[in-house]
């Protein structure tokens, strides 16, 4: 029996075991986007973009873009993405849609929940600091609306919340940040 190998094996086993025993902390971003029920003669679901801007007002992360994804008589729904003016100018025109994990179909009236964590590609490179959640909606034969909620990412030990209330194309927007 070789006694010099036993302590090495035990040490490695303890180190690996301790590694797996550490809690897995994950920063989370939860967003609730409300699309109001509008009583209008011709209703079309809005295109919606949700993104994060840094203090420099440049796009730090595209979180979600909802647009018409099936072809119609006018072609693919990407034709109308420039109607999301702020998002389009800052990020949209440089993206090749669809973007896996970001783009999706338009949503009906109601509350829609989005959840992200720092292990997902959208937030993986987001450094601690001051940011703004931006939600923009545009609707054919309708209006356009932009809401912003400032927040701090992964720097404070306590959870944060923020809200904004739309007046036409968007309803209540709620943000929860859990470090």
Q: Is there a domain that residue 59 lies in?
A: yes
Q: Is residue 22 part of a domain?
A: no
Examine residue 62 and say whether the peptide bond preceding it is cis (omega within 30 degrees of 0): no
Q: What share of the chain is helix, strand, coil (3-state, %, to 5)?
A: 20, 40, 40
The pLDDT value recorded for residue 76 is 65
10-16-19-20 Cα dihedral, nearest 10 degrees? -110
Please report the DSSP string for 20-80 in residue order: HHS-----EEEEEEEEPPP--SS--PPEEEEEEEETTSSEEEEEEEE---S-BTTB-GGGG
- Single pTM value for the model: 0.84
Does a structural domain hold residue 145? Answer: yes
Pairing of strands 129-138, 47-54: antiparallel
User: Per the domain annotation, does 15 fall within a domain?
Assistant: no
Tens digits of residue pLDDT in 133-148? 999 999 988 899 999 9
pLDDT in tens, 53-104: 999 999 999 999 999 987 665 556 888 899 999 999 999 999 998 899 999 9
pLDDT in tens, 1-32: 555 554 444 444 444 444 444 445 589 999 99
* Count of structural domains, the chain: 1
Domain residue limits at 106:
41-178
What's the confidence (pLDDT) of residue 94?
94
Using an 8 Å Cβ cutoff, are 63 and 95 in contact?
A: no
* CA separation for the pair 110, 118 (Å, rounded): 27
Residue 115 lies in a domain: yes
Residue 57 lies in a domain: yes
């Amino acid at each position: 029996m070789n006694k010099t190998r036993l302590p090495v094996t035990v040490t490695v086993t303890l180190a690996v075991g301790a590694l797996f025993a550490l809690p897995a902390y994950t920063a989370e971003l939860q967003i609730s986007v409300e699309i109001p029920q509008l009583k209008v003669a011709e209703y079309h679901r809005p295109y919606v973009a949700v993104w994060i801007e840094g203090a420099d007002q440049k796009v730090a992360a595209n979180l979600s873009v909802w647009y018409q994804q099936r072809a119609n008589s006018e072609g693919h729904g990407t034709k109308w993405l420039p109607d999301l003016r702020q998002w389009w100018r800052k990020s949209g025109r440089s993206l090749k849609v669809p973007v896996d994990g970001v783009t999706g179909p338009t949503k009906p009236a109601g509350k829609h929940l989005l959840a992200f964590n720092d292990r997902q590609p959208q937030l993986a490179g987001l450094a601690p600091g001051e940011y703004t959640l931006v939600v923009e909606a545009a609707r054919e034969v309708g209006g356009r609306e932009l809401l912003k909620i400032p927040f701090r990412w992964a720097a404070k030990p306590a959870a944060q919340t923020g809200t904004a209330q739309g007046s036409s194309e968007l309803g209540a927007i709620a943000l929860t940040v859990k470090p």
